[in-house]
Amino acid sequence: MNSWISRAGDWLEERLGWRAAQELVQHKEVPIHRHSIWYYFGGMTLFLFGIQVGTGILLLLYYRPSAETAFESVQFIMTEVQFGWLIRSVHSYSANLMVATAFVHMFSTLFLRSFRRPREITWVSGALLLFLSLTFGFTGYLLPWNTLAFFATKVGTDIAGVLPVVGPFLLRFLRGGDEVTGATLTRLFGFHVAVLPAITTVFLGLHLYLVQKHGMSTPMSVDPDAVPKMKFVPQFVLRDLAGWLAAVALLAALAALFPWELGEKADPFAPAPAGIRPEWYFMFMFQTLKYIPARILGIDGEFLGILAFSLLGALLVLTPFVASGQKREGRVDRVVLVGIIVVIYIIVLTTLGYLG
Amino acid sequence: MDPSSGDRRGFLNYLLGTGALASLGAVFYPVIRFLIPPKVVESSASSVVACKASEIKPNAGKVFKFGSKPALLIQLASGGYRAFSAVCTHLDCTVQYRPDEKMIWCACHNGRYDLTGRNISGPPPRPLEEYKVNVRSDEIVVSRG
Amino acid sequence: MWPIVLFMLVGAPQPRPAVSPAASSCVRCHLQLDGALLEPARLFEHDVHFKQGLSCNGCHGGDPTVGVDSGGPGDAMNRARGYIGKPPRKKIAALCSSCHSSLDFMRRYNPQARVDQYAEYLTSIHGKKYAAGDPNVATCTDCHGIHGILEVASPNSPVHATNVASTCARCHADPKRMQAYGIPTNQFELYGRSVHGEALMKNNDLGAPTCNDCHGNHGAAPPGVDSVANVCGQCHTVQWDLFNKSPHKKAFAEGNLPACATCHENHDIRRTSDTMLGAEEPATCLTCHDKGSKGYAVAAEMKSGIVTLQNRLDAAHQLLERAERAGMEVSGPLYNLSEGRDRLIQARVVVHGFNAADLLKVLEVGDRIAASCKESGNKALDELAYRRKGLAVSVAILLGMIGLLLIKIRQLGK
């Protein structure tokens, strides 16, 4: 048995040169310190993304992306297809879980300053991946074509339209027209299953390559040479796996106990129902826009709000170049301070959004 | 290393292997079942098999489920088929075909519609929505415009 | 005799005037006056006669070609030229009829116009009293208006379906006016509370009947006791059919009871409920059927059958709602349940045959549907339980695997 495996390995080595990768994996090490727990969140996000791709492809076998058929096809998946309820609910819950772990992964690498030299591009690609996951969420949300999704998309694209210069173009680009129609559905579907996966593949590949190249970063308080380490294979991988299995169990429980809602088929001519809300990961921005006064110093309030968030987004991408890689002794750590303020802001505004 | 710890390790590995297979089974069993097409192959809101051609005779009507509302299939005395929404436009009662009078009748308040769905007598304010009918081998398929 | 004399006095239908109504001296002059002399001209501009090109002289006589540009009011309102001024009340009906009963005349404007309104009117209570000289009964202008007469189909017309009841009520709800005739004055109030009144006046359902649908338009008279059922049966055909075949038809006729109205009232027809049926107060059946009688037993049997079906349908509905709340998709069984409710509605109609065996047949179909929906609900809950069992098994496997991994991790150590 073993000789059979090694002979197969040799055959592949001659053609693919795969042993180099095997070497890399076997030599990879993970530092052990009091912040090691955060190392799991990147892999968890990747695992959940894998679940999204898998369940997404399965859903593609039955979903129909037109205004006349989308809702009925999702209803069909939930009621007639064997375990359709499971695949669809897992897809929805895993999407939310993935965005949550992506945020945790981003904040942990921020607070631990993993973005410092030489990992700037890793950070930039990661920030872009975060925005891509939010875009996946936004485009996927419309696909069941129910009332909530329809109006959330209308409000979301309305907000995009407020941006100066590019706003009107962006609105028409996203909607496939002036209003949210079946054209919007087909277009966002195309984005969701083809365009975004293609772009994500590029940046994800870059991100993963860079992580392997630079190895795991350590917090500044830790000496990278002296810190104890565990081997990636098998120690870290087994722990990773345990976490992934726990995630699968959680998703299965959520799907079985709280199946994702179907809602009612969208009616473009009906008035907007009360209580339209975006998904939770957009809630803090949505709630902020509600609080901004209509005009500030003569400028449209909504526009200022969106401008502010756009600037913050740009700042996030450029963090390695604007934030200090060093922690200055004796002075308040600005990166941590800003980070904590942002986290608290997000939590408070999201909570207010659900209470209001 | 004593032999018992080696045995334990071996046993643990055996358990892990079995556990891994069981876990994979638990994950892939629903996936395989998902891939196999269900009995009803298509969603029924925009196109429905009303019935088999042998189940309806000339000058007869049949109420069937279309989406979440009732619909009426009529085979004319001349052999052709017509299909309409069976929801009366007056107060939503379910209409029926009257073979004796060759028109569509609503029992609730004596509303009448002709064979084009037009409201011709009684309280109904609007005609019945007409659907498209096609015959596919021996199945009568009704679909929305 | 009098109608013919009046007709001769007023004359044959007036010829088409030489000028359009807007250009007639009548309208042009009166529009420049004010108060009571202005009103008729102002209203007339919206009148259906005005729109058809008929002018004031069509009813009042006179010459519309003179009086403004040439001559004066005396030339237009000239008795020698047929001017009759304000027609006396007792001549109004014949005046209107002089055109509206002439098919030759009316077909110029509407070939499908009816020309029997006057003949019908003369058969009505209003018409008979009017012909006898009573100035207080309704005639054409009281309902249709005088100068601003609109088409019946116009929602602003006092004789549009939605307005008929209030127009009739102008007199019939006035106690002082009706005192002389000794008839009740609460019909409008009762009708307003009824299911028909609500449908027509609140929900604009033009399919609902109003005064003229049961009493007639121009030949208005209350339907006789023996013809009430035929009137209601115009729309409620199934109940009418069943009633005619039931033992109640003969029994009511013998007792001179007005069929449908005996149990359902005539004006204050309320939304029916199951409490009307049965052998317990306040059931309507108890009005005639005493305890121990056959009718009493039939009423009780019918009531219990309907209540049982209602309960079974409600139980099935609750079960399906529970399944739906738990996340199961049960729109199919819920649709089938609505068919069960249709059987319940049908049962309440079949009651009018007053035959327990017939009713039971309908209830049986409904019971079968309720049972099958209950089964679907149970199946949905079973599927839910299956999912939870499957979940428990999968989670157990996964937790077991996680446990094994943790042991392995500890075993591997550093």
Alpha carbons A204 and A130: distance in angstroms, whole number: 11
| B70: β partners | B65
Which DSSP category does C257 fall into?
-
What's the whole-number mean pLDDT along residues A168-196?
94
pLDDT at C18: 63
Same domain, B84 and B65: yes
pLDDT over 90 (residue A302):
no
The dihedral sign for the CA sequence C308, C309, C311, C316? positive
- For helices A84-111 and A237-257, give the axis angle rounded to 10 degrees: 130
Contacts of C398 in chain A (CB under 8 A): 245-246, 248-249, 252
Helices (H), C107-246: 117-123, 125-131, 140-144, 161-172, 175-179, 187-193, 195-197, 211-215, 228-232, 237-245
Residue-number span of the structural domain to which B15 is assigned: 1-36
- Convert the pLDDT of each residue in B84-94 to its tens digit: 999 999 999 99
- Cβ-defined contact of C207 to B9 (cutoff 8 Å): no
- Provide the shortest C-alpha distance from residue C243 to chain A (in Å): 44
Chain B residue with minimum CA distance to A84: B34
pLDDT category at B43 given cuts 50, 70, 90 is low
- Provide the shortest C-alpha distance from residue A54 to chain B (in Å): 10
pLDDT at C3: 52
Alpha carbons C368 and C209: distance in angstroms, whole number: 36
Same domain, B3 and B72: no
Alpha carbons A92 and A141: distance in angstroms, whole number: 9
Alpha carbons C242 and C359: distance in angstroms, whole number: 11
* Top-confidence residue, C49 or C7: C49
- Cβ-defined contact of B31 to A58 (cutoff 8 Å): yes
Structure tokens at A153: 């998309």
Percent of chain A's residues with pLDDT above 70: 98
pLDDT at A199: 98
Same domain, B135 and B64: yes
- Cβ-defined contact of A81 to B38 (cutoff 8 Å): yes
- Cβ-defined contact of A83 to B34 (cutoff 8 Å): yes
Assess A12–C contact: CB distance below 8 Å, yes or no: no
Structure tokens at A186: 């087909």
Contacts of A80 in chain B (CB under 8 A): 38-40, 43
What's the whole-number mean pLDDT along residues C206-227?
87
Contacts of C390 in chain A (CB under 8 A): 256
Same domain, B71 and B133: yes
Domains of chain C: 1-149 (no CATH), 153-164+173-222 (no CATH), 227-268 (no CATH), 294-412 (1.20.140)
Same domain, B78 and B109: yes
B:2-41 residues touching chain C, CB 8 A cutoff = 9, 12-13, 15-16, 19-20, 22-23, 26
- Convert the pLDDT of each residue in A252-291 to its tens digit: 999 988 889 888 889 888 888 887 888 899 999 999 988 9
- The answer to whether position B66 is within a domain reads yes
Same domain, B32 and B51: no
Alpha carbons C33 and C2: distance in angstroms, whole number: 37
Same domain, B23 and B78: no
What's the whole-number mean pLDDT along residues C327-343?
88
Chain A residue with minimum CA distance to B30: A83
Please say whether the beta carbons of A147 and A263 come within 8 A: yes
Q: Which range is most confident: A41-50, A155-164, C182-191, C377-386?
A: A41-50
Chain A residue with minimum CA distance to C397: A249
How confident is the prediction for chain C on average, in pLDDT?
89
Angle at C28 between CA C24 and CA C33, to 5 degrees: 145
Assess A178–B contact: CB distance below 8 Å, yes or no: no
Structure tokens at C167: 């127009």
Assess B28–A contact: CB distance below 8 Å, yes or no: no
- Cβ-defined contact of A245 to B33 (cutoff 8 Å): no
Chains contacting A (3+ CB pairs below 8 angstroms): B, C
pLDDT over 60 (residue C14):
no
pLDDT over 70 (residue C20):
yes
pLDDT over 60 (residue C203):
yes
Least Cα distance to A265 among A92, A137, A76, A62 occurs for A76
Amino acid at B135: V
pLDDT over 50 (residue C8):
no
- The answer to whether position B42 is within a domain reads no
Please say whether the beta carbons of C77 and C61 come within 8 A: no
Assess A262–C contact: CB distance below 8 Å, yes or no: yes
Chain A residue with minimum CA distance to B29: A83
Alpha carbons C311 and A330: distance in angstroms, whole number: 77
Assess A241–C contact: CB distance below 8 Å, yes or no: yes
- Provide the shortest C-alpha distance from residue A170 to chain C (in Å): 37
pLDDT over 70 (residue C213):
yes
Same domain, B12 and B53: no
Contacts of B110 in chain C (CB under 8 A): 234-237
- Cβ-defined contact of C388 to A257 (cutoff 8 Å): yes
Q: How many CB atoms lie within 10 A of CB A224?
A: 13
Contacts of B109 in chain C (CB under 8 A): 207, 235-236
Tokens 């679907």 — which residue? C376
pLDDT category at C63 given cuts 50, 70, 90 is confident
Q: What is the ipTM of this complex?
A: 0.83
Q: Which of C329, C388, C412 sits opposite A235 (nearest CB)?
A: C412
- The answer to whether position B41 is within a domain reads no
Please say whether the beta carbons of A39 and A30 come within 8 A: yes
Which DSSP category does A313 fall into?
H
SS3 B125: coil
Same domain, B25 and B55: no
* Top-confidence residue, C370 or A1: C370
- Provide the shortest C-alpha distance from residue B61 to chain C (in Å): 17
Please say whether the beta carbons of A308 and A314 come within 8 A: no
First and final C-alpha spacing in chain B: 78
- Cβ-defined contact of C405 to A253 (cutoff 8 Å): no
- Provide the shortest C-alpha distance from residue B36 to chain A (in Å): 8
Same domain, B52 and B18: no
SS3 C160: coil
Residues B99-131 as b/e (b if ≥16 CB within 10 A, e otherwise) read eeeeebbbbbbbbbbeeebebeebbbeebbbeb
pLDDT over 60 (residue B14):
yes
pLDDT over 80 (residue A1):
no
Same domain, B5 and B64: no
The DSSP line for A254-285 is: HHHHSPPP---B--TTSPPPTT----HHHHHH
Least Cα distance to B74 among B93, B49, B50, B94 occurs for B50
What's the whole-number mean pLDDT along residues A26-32?
90
- Provide the shortest C-alpha distance from residue C374 to chain A (in Å): 18
SS3 C360: helix
Does this model's pTM top 0.80? My answer is no
- How many structural domains is chain B composed of? 2
- Convert the pLDDT of each residue in C85-134 to its tens digit: 899 999 999 999 999 999 999 999 999 999 999 999 999 999 999 999 99
pLDDT at C388: 87
Q: Which of B15, B22, B109 sits opposite C236 (nearest CB)?
A: B109
Domains of chain A: 18-279 (1.20.810.10)
Chains contacting B (3+ CB pairs below 8 angstroms): A, C
How confident is the prediction for chain B on average, in pLDDT?
89
Structure tokens at B81: 């088929």
pLDDT over 80 (residue A156):
yes
Chain B residue with minimum CA distance to C209: B123
- The answer to whether position B3 is within a domain reads yes
- Identify the CATH number of the domain in which residue B67 sits: 2.102.10.10
Q: Which of A211-225, B72-86, C65-79 has the lowest mean pLDDT?
A: C65-79
pLDDT over 90 (residue C140):
yes
HSE at residue C138, side-chain half, CA atoms within 13 A, is: 22
Chain B residue with minimum CA distance to C204: B125
pLDDT at C114: 92
If residue B74 lies in a helix (H) or strand (E), which one and from where to where? strand B69-75
Q: Which of C329, C332, C395 sits opposite A253 (nearest CB)?
A: C395
Contacts of A246 in chain B (CB under 8 A): none
pLDDT at B46: 75
Alpha carbons C38 and B96: distance in angstroms, whole number: 57
Same domain, B19 and B54: no
Chains contacting C (3+ CB pairs below 8 angstroms): A, B
Contacts of B20 in chain A (CB under 8 A): none
* Top-confidence residue, A299 or C361: C361
- The answer to whether position B8 is within a domain reads yes
pLDDT over 80 (residue C200):
yes
- Provide the shortest C-alpha distance from residue A343 to chain B (in Å): 35
Helices (H), C246-355: 247-254, 259-264, 294-325, 331-350
- Provide the shortest C-alpha distance from residue A83 to chain B (in Å): 6
CB pairs under 8 A between A and C: 55
Chain C residue with minimum CA distance to A244: C402
- Burial group, residue C349, by CB count within 10 angstroms (0-12, 13-18, 19+): middle
* Top-confidence residue, A197 or C413: A197
- Convert the pLDDT of each residue in A89-147 to its tens digit: 999 999 999 999 999 999 999 999 899 889 999 999 999 999 999 999 999 999 999 99
pLDDT category at A164 given cuts 50, 70, 90 is confident
Percent of chain A's residues with pLDDT above 90: 61
Least Cα distance to C352 among C262, C290, C268 occurs for C262
Assess A84–B contact: CB distance below 8 Å, yes or no: yes
pLDDT category at A24 given cuts 50, 70, 90 is confident
Assess A297–C contact: CB distance below 8 Å, yes or no: no
